[in-house]
Amino acid sequence: VKHLIDTTSLTADDITQILDTARSFSEVNKRAIKKVPALRGRTIVNLFLEPSTRTKSSFELAEKRLSADSLSMGGATSSVVKGESLADTIETIDAMSVDMFICRAKLAGTPHKICEHTDAVVINAGDGKHQHPTQALLDLYTIRENFGHLDGLKVALVGDLSHSRVCGSLVPALKTMGAEVTLVGPPTFQIADPDYFGVPQTSDLDSVIADMDVVYMLRVQLERMEGAAIPSRREYNRLWGLDMSRVDRMRPEAIICHPGPMNRGMEINADVADCARSRILAQVNAGVLVRMAAMYLLLGGENNGVSA
Ligand code: CP
């Protein structure tokens, strides 16, 4: 694997290697001085053309913890606002001898486009409705840390399936790792392809929730509705939101995930987001570890310095 653009090109061995490497970096995360020299002398460019809190900050922290040199560019503060094309932007930065681009973009396919204009490694940090592979990897890491394995787990992804790049990357990754996936969402938010990774879809959350090990709530992507009718908050919450009465019907050991940012009171209630079953902040913590692992492995690090 040269780039990390999607999860469909990752084998179970690839995923296991990334998760195991992330686990080794968890020791770094616990140190008083959270740094290893693993990517000293490497240069990483964070190109965030769409807003981000978790992904951008965790990539930046991961780069610092690996001792890489980095620079962060946003769409609004670059010459993109003067009309410079993506190709010219990438070739300009590439001419400064960088090793890796991390890219978040509104337009699906942008990371592929970047690969055409640089020999540097490219990591997709979320492209439109397409994919968000490091999100899927941090989700797998969080779930595996909780249960000790991924195979055979029953995982429901609930909510706005069709606008979700989290769904697009997590479903194939879960399937590759042997989990059983069920998709739950309003009929208007379901995936149009009836053969989508061979995964069943239903609109009835109450019929499946008691059988799941992981209930993964998806954000309603209000910014991607593109003129479609936006459901009322109250009605959505009544039919597809995770409230305490539904949580009380979950298996005793079952956990709750959400990629963030949350629409509290819509897809997930505030008391549920903060309850003991919630792994939402564990997911955020895993984001730094998994991104350290992905950058380290893709840049060919040989000694991750954890034991140094
Ligand atoms: N989950 C996620 O990608 O969050 P951000 O948009 O804040 O990066």
Mutate to test the pocket of ligand 1, among 53, 132, 165 (most ligand atoms within 8 A of CB): 53
Residues 6+ apart with CB under 8 A from 186: 203, 231, 236, 239, 240
Q: What is the mean pLDDT of the chain?
A: 94
pTM of the predicted protein model: 0.95
Q: Where are the domains positioned within the chain?
A: 12-131+287-298, 133-284
- Ligand 1 centre to CA of 132 (Å) is 9
Burial 251-272 (b: 16+ CB within 10 A, else e): eeebbbbbbbebbeebbbbeeb
Please determine whether the domains at 12-131+287-298 and 133-284 fall in the same fold group of CATH: yes
Index of the ligand 1 atom closest to the CA of residue 50: 6
ipTM above 0.95, yes or no: yes
Mutate to test the pocket of ligand 1, among 48, 55, 268 (most ligand atoms within 8 A of CB): 55
Residue 81: CB atoms within 10 Å? 10
Q: What angle do CA 208, 222, 105 make, to 5 degrees?
A: 105
Q: What is the mean pLDDT of residues 17-23?
A: 97
Give the pLDDT confidence score for residue 170 in this predicted structure.
98
Give the pLDDT confidence score for residue 308 in this predicted structure.
42
Index of the ligand 1 atom closest to the CA of residue 58: 8
Going by CA atoms, what residue is nearest to atom 3 of ligand 1?
A: 55
AA identity, residue 25: F
- Ligand 1 centre to CA of 76 (Å) is 18
Going by CA atoms, what residue is nearest to atom 5 of ligand 1?
A: 52
- Ligand 1 centre to CA of 52 (Å) is 5
User: CATH: 3.40.640.10, 3.40.50.1370, 2.60.40.10, 3.30.420.40. Which one for 133-284?
Assistant: 3.40.50.1370
Give the pLDDT confidence score for residue 307 in this predicted structure.
57
CA distance 28 to 55: 19
> Domain 12-131+287-298 falls in which CATH fold?
Rossmann fold (3.40.50)
Q: What is the mean pLDDT of residues 189-202?
A: 95
Render pLDDT for 39-61 as a digit per residue (tens, 0 to 9): 999 999 999 999 999 999 999 99
Render pLDDT for 63-96 as a digit per residue (tens, 0 to 9): 999 999 999 998 787 888 888 899 999 999 999 9
Render pLDDT for 138-147 as a digit per residue (tens, 0 to 9): 999 999 999 9
pLDDT band for position 163 (50/70/90)?
very high
219 labelled ligand-binding:
yes
Residues with CB under 6 A from ligand 1: 52-55, 126, 132, 135, 259-261
Give the pLDDT confidence score for residue 304 in this predicted structure.
67
Index of the ligand 1 atom closest to the CA of residue 55: 8
Could you give the percent of the chain with pLDDT greater than 90? 86
